[in-house]
Amino acid sequence: MYTQSLPFGRRVYVPGDPKGEHTAVANAVGGRAIVLGHGLNTRLNPLDEGHRPTGLSDEQWASTVAARRRDLIGALAETVLARGLSPLEHTAIDIALTQTVRENDVPILPMVVDRVLAPSTDADGRLADSSATHCAVSSPVIWPGCSMGLRRLRSIRRCR
């Protein structure tokens, strides 16, 4: 059915193909299958910028990508913890994400988790006015529940 819409410019995505029947069809019409699974070398980076829509300035695009990444990491942490994040935890994730993106061309989730669990100095100065806040963000001991949940996220294999 979906092959009939291809000549009209429609793009087709099949989010799952456990039996492999759509892979042959995709290959036959010039498409491709991305195979993900345990023990395979293929990885999916949820922090990838993705396709940039036309008409966005560099600032708008950077803001959009940062918001998507921040929302994703926050949602993953909340899912692992089975609770909402505190404002302090959101701040720690935001700072860790910013530092990771600044230091790496292609950030991956374990890099951000490592930065949350072992933060570097406060390079952007956002926490310079409050040493108490900086200590709380810099120490996973202050929020052990979140750091334990993020350690589970860090167990995702690194891909570079």
- What is the Cα–Cα distance from 119 to 99, expressed in whole angstroms? 9
Q: What is the pLDDT of residue 114?
A: 87
Q: What is the pLDDT of residue 142?
A: 42
Q: Of 126, 104, 105, whose CA–CA distance to 115 is shortest?
A: 104
Give pTM, 2 decimals. 0.65
Q: How many residues does the chain have?
A: 160
Collapsing DSSP to helix, strand or coil, 99 comes out as helix
Mean pLDDT by 10 residues, the chain (160 residues): 79 82 86 83 88 92 94 91 88 90 91 84 51 42 53 51
